[in-house]
Amino acid sequence: MHSTTKKQFKKGDVLLREGERGECAYVIETGNVEILVQRDGQSIQIGTRGPGSLIGEMAMIDDKPRTATVRALDDCEVQEITREDFARRIETADPVLKMVMRVITTRYRDMIGRTGTIQFVPPTHAAETAENADASHDVALSAIKIHNELKLALERGELMLYYQPIIDVQNMKIAGFEALMRWKHPEKGMISPGVFIPVAEEGRLIIGLSRLALDLSCDAAKALQAAAAPELLGEAPLFVGVNFSVKDFVEGDLFNHLKATIGKKQIDPIQIHLEITETLLMQAPDAARAELEKCREIGLNVSIDDFGSGYSSLSYLHYFPIDTLKIDQSFIRAMSTHAASLVLVKSIIGIARNLGMKVIAEGVESAQEAAKLREMGCEYIQGYWFSKPLPFEAALKFVQTWQAPKLEVEA
């Protein structure tokens, strides 16, 4: 059984009780609640809240007993934010922000204490500020909601991987795949990783996601290798690139987990490529270097993702153990219209060759781009030109039946 973070209350139920310790806060999804305080032995309503409101957060910020009781005015559905979850978010918040929250909470409590009522009238001249506050409030609420739903999705098996083929452009054989996560939401359909990965990265949830991706990728790499038509593959075993985040290194004990998984799955480590962005390397350079060295020693391949889109300081190429550079798709896109981009791509390929690294060009969308890359000596290409990311079954079919598209070679 998994614990749900969604809760239901019937009309008249007490959601939060005055005097209690703040164990959780709620975001109201449906229904309305009233906020009650005790004055001279009487319960006085000091306000109401409806869908989208956050309630019960104060006692978690300052760790004092609750100053009010919250009761359901009708049947309500709420998302729960646990104390632990909240504490972690606060811990990682900016220190000034933390202080501001405490000051506001104290003033707010004083105000309730003095007047017994809350009459919050935003100053009219501050309309824009109020709007901004509303917008960031909405963003925060939707992140909390996605986070809670994502936690459930992981438990319920709604997260899956798509596999995008990577081709050796020199001989047009299948070299490997990149594993890209998808969330098959029961109501909203397929959700893109651009929406949920950043939310997962804010907390520790990303560690669970990365572990799932690694597990599934090991199984997929073995199954695809076994099913492939031999003439469609190159000489080396087919690889699967798995995306990792900074949290995996710093908090996720990544190396030990990788080692254990590779042992358990009995997979040749050469079949797994770790994809890491340069931004990640710069966030925790020493920790990343130490972990990557160890990964390298056990035979894993280290790829730099989105190369050129972040820091782009070439000096780090020496510092880290890197096998492959993945050139960011923005360069590939600009190649045909900007001569400078073409020169840049050429230079990256040259640097990689001199340092003994391979290059994967990302986001290749046309035969012309592929032909250019081949001419410049790029090893691998990935992009919509020959395939979008595919569900596992389709990837299986791909390695059995793919027919390489014609590559125009320019005179």
Min CB(298)–Ca ion separation in Å: 21
- Judged by CB, which is closer to ligand C2E: 155, or 201? 201
Local structure of 224: helix, strand or coil = helix
Q: Binding of ligand C2E at residue 192 (CB under 6 A)? A: yes
The answer to whether 367 and 387 have CB atoms below 8 angstroms apart is no
Closest contact distance (angstroms) between CB of 262 and ligand C2E is 18
Sole binder of ligand C2E in the list 211, 365, 371, 377 (CB under 6 A):
365
DSSP line for 323-366? SEEEE-HHHHHHHTT-HHHHHHHHHHHHHHHHTT-EEEE----S
Q: Which stretch binds ligand C2E (CB under 6 A): 113-121, 193-201, 336-344, 400-408?
A: 193-201
Neighbours of 128 (CB within 10 A): 8
Regarding 384 and contact with ligand C2E (CB under 6 A), the answer is yes
How far, in Å, CA of 390 to CA of 386, rounded?
Answer: 11
- In angstroms, the CA 211 to CA 245 distance is 11
Task: Give residues with Cβ within 8 angstroms of 271, minimum separation 6.
Answer: 176, 218, 221, 222, 225, 237, 238, 239, 240
- Using the rule CB under 6 A, is 176 a contact of ligand C2E? no
Q: Which is nearer to ligand C2E, 244 or 380 (CB)?
A: 244
Q: What is the dihedral of CA 104, 79, 30, 68, to 10 degrees?
A: -40
Residue 205 makes contact with ligand C2E by CB under 6 A: no
Window contacting Ca ion (CB under 5 A); options: 169-177, 302-310, 353-361, 398-406: 302-310
Residue by residue, what is the 3-state secondary structure of 158-175? Answer: CEEEEEEEEEECCCCEEE
Residue from 33, 181, 281, 373 touching ligand C2E (CB under 6 A): that is 181
Under rule CB under 6 A, which residues in 304-333 are in contact with ligand C2E?
305-306, 329
- d(Cα 60, Cα 67) in Å, to the nearest integer? 12
Q: Which of 240, 389, 392, 395 binds ligand C2E (CB under 6 A)?
A: 389
Q: Quick check: 202 binds ligand C2E (CB under 6 A)?
A: no
Q: Which stretch binds Ca ion (CB under 5 A): 2-10, 55-63, 241-249, 340-348?
A: 241-249
Select from Ca ion, ligand C2E, none the partner in contact with residue 213, using the beta carbon and a kind-dependent cut-off of 5 to 8 Å.
Answer: ligand C2E
Minimal CA–CA distance to 355: which of 380, 324, 326?
Answer: 324
> Are the beta carbons of 224 and 175 closer than 8 angstroms?
no
Q: Tokens representing 80? A: 């729960």
- Residue 164 interface partner, choices Ca ion, ligand C2E, none, CB cut-off 5-8 Å depending on type: ligand C2E
269 binds ligand C2E per the rule CB under 6 A: no
Stretch near ligand C2E under the rule CB under 6 A, chosen from 67-75, 102-110, 334-342, 360-368: 360-368
Q: Is residue 383 near ligand C2E by the rule CB under 6 A?
A: yes
Residue among 319, 363, 327 at smallest CA distance from 344: 327
| CB 75, min distance to ligand C2E, A | 38
What does 327 interact with, of ligand C2E, Ca ion, none (CB < 5 to 8 A by kind)? none
Dihedral sign computed on CA atoms, order 281, 286, 288, 289: positive
Residues at the contact surface with Ca ion, assessed by CB under 5 A: 243, 275, 305-306, 362
Residues at the contact surface with ligand C2E, assessed by CB under 6 A: 164, 180-181, 192-194, 197, 210, 213, 243-245, 305-306, 329, 363-365, 382-384, 389
